[in-house]
Structure 1
Amino acid sequence: MTIGNTASSGSIRDTVRAAHPHELDNIPWLHTLTPAERKRAEAAVVVGDADAGELVCRVGRSPTYWFGVVEGLLKMSNDNADGTSMTYSGLPPGGWFGEGTVMKREPYRYNIQALRRSLVAGLPIDEFHWLLDHSIGFNRFVMNQLNERLAQFIAAREADRLNNPDARVARNLAALFNPVLFPGVGELLRITQQELAYLIGLSRQRVNEALRTLEGQGAIRVEYGGVRVTDLVALRAGGLPGTRWPVKTAKPVSPTHAIHPMPPKAR
């Protein structure tokens, strides 16, 4: 069996397997199903490894699966006519994406690429439609996803227009901490400064400056291997005019607290 529509035969196709029980437990929509529906869905879900840089979905290809992130980090993007790339969203653990494309059975209008080695789950498109036809709980989950994603893209559009880099970093970080779209993140997002820079479109150095500012304002705490949110409301506000955050002196991020890549996780 193959998974996805990558540009060429890749590792994700070669590593497809049935999902383990602990992986299934972390798939949020499975908990909305009846026992009979869940048994059917669990038997259909497969997972596969995507190497850094590998495409999980590609513009113009028809969907065969509905995808979700079990481990790692993906990005949703598209290529402009001038050769530059536009990133729409990061996709951390717990996030399922592309339901609109799968519902309409239309070709992808965006690329999904792994920023680091990631474990991706897939529900076959026919099983997705079967659940739409038979499961009230699943329908509610998908509708909630679509509604939440619309709000996310509106917020992202607003963030892109901000001239304040600190506010852009804050808004983009807040989107990755969305508990509805990305329930697997919790309070600690495993991400590097370089990965943040790719997602936001700023230099790694400027992202580091913004993280120091946001940490000084009490919105986040930079930890080894990631960022912990301490005030999601403040982070969502993004330091826009009129926002009142507690004023603290921003201190440089020491080497022991800088964001570092996470060590490989044994599977």
Structure 2
Amino acid sequence: MAAGTPPPAALRAALESDAWFASCDAVLRESLFERARLWRLAGGERLFARGADAEGLCCVCAGALRIGAMQADGSESLLAYVEPYQWFGEISMIDGAPRTHDAVADGDTAVLVVARAALHDWLREHPAHWRDLARLACAKLRMSFGVLEDIAHLPLEARLAKRLWLLAHGFGARESARRVVRLPQEQLALMLGVSRQSANKALRGLEAQGWVALRYGEIEILDLDALPKIAALPRNPE
């Protein structure tokens, strides 16, 4: 991993596209940007490993990261696929415990990292902004509860529709949806905890309805409004 460098000034505007970052007070946004360093990773390179000490709050700026872990039996689990300009790493920032998963670059990737010690020092002087980190963590906790409920109550095709909708919206980070989800079916199957064959069958079902188009390494969403209906999703999640 190449050494961190100060982020370019032009990156400020792009960061505003993230709903959480945009909702933070200007003084916190400025503090994060000033203390951030840009790290570049090659495909397959780890940003951090499960069990490692927390180094800071992070935001993908280019490329993507796979958040998951290798299990004892050699199988891989995939918790999330993080794209620009989603922030993560707040759990270890809050509790100081080690990282819960691996973060691996999916192709060439750039990540902003705000060092934990530097941010803690600033928050010591501005304690009201701890609430903003808590908001970031709570949004993901709400989503995790939803995923657990989906596993118990939704058929695979509905779970898949919901996951595609969430991916298109950056798991709530983007107000404007991305119509093309660049995620291989194999990775999508890992996120849902099913076989690739099962995921492909469910995707073919959505494709037969004219809601998605399957292409190599990506899925184009043709009817974004249909996905919330099949998954019983509210249009504007809290």
Q: In 1, Cα distance between the equivalents of 2:173 and 2:203? A: 21
**Structure 2: distance between partners of 1:202 and 1:180:** 20
Task: Give unpaired runs (5+ residues) of structure 2.
Answer: 234-238
Overall identity of the aligned pairs, in %: 21
Partner residue, 1:129: 120
Long gaps (5+) in structure 1: 1-11, 239-267
Mapped pair 1:24 → 2:15: no
Aligned residue in 1 for 2:206: 214
In structure 2, do the counterparts of structure 1 residues 19 and 226 end up closer, same or farther at CA, with 3 Å as the change threshold?
farther
Equivalence for 2:220: 227
CA contact 2:50–2:102 (8 Å) conserved in 1: yes
For 1:230, the aligned partner's letter is: L
Matching residue of 1:33 = 25
* 1:223 positional shift: 7.6
Alpha-carbon distance in 2 for matches of 1:179, 1:215: 22
Hey, which of these two has a bigger chunk of helix by percent?
2
Evaluate the alpha carbon distance shift between residue 21 and residue 190 of structure 1 in structure 2; reply closer, same or farther with a 3 A threshold: farther
Q: Residue 15 of structure 1: CA displacement? A: 4.9
Q: Per-residue displacement from partner, 1:52-102 (whole Å, max 9, x unpaired)?
A: 222212112101121111122222213333232222222222221121111
CA distance in 1, matches of 2:111, 2:86: 10
Normalising to structure 1: TM-score of the pair? Answer: 0.69
Give, in whole Å, the separation in 2 of the partners of 1:183 and 1:62.
Answer: 29
For the residues of structure 2 that align with 1:51 and 1:235, how far apart are their CA atoms?
38
Task: Give the partner amino acid of 2:137.
Answer: L
* Preserved CA contact (<8 Å) 1:67 1:96: yes
CA RMSD of aligned residues (A): 3.2
SS of the aligned residue for 1:227 comes to strand
Query: Amino acid of the residue matched to residue 43 of structure 1?
Result: E
2:7 touches 2:38 (CA, 8 Å); kept in 1?
yes
SS of residue paired to 1:20: coil
Number of aligned residues? 224
Residues 100, 146 of structure 1: 8 Å contact kept: yes
2:189 is equivalent to residue 197 of structure 1: yes
**Do the aligned partners of 2:77 and 2:190 also contact (CA within 8 Å) in 1?**
no
CA–CA separation in structure 2 for the residues paired with 1:60 and 1:75: 16
C-alpha contact (below 8 Å) 2:164/2:181 kept by paired residues: no
Structure 1 SS opposite 2:98 = coil
Tell me, in whole angstroms, the C-alpha distance in 1 between the residues paired with 2:38 and 2:30: 17
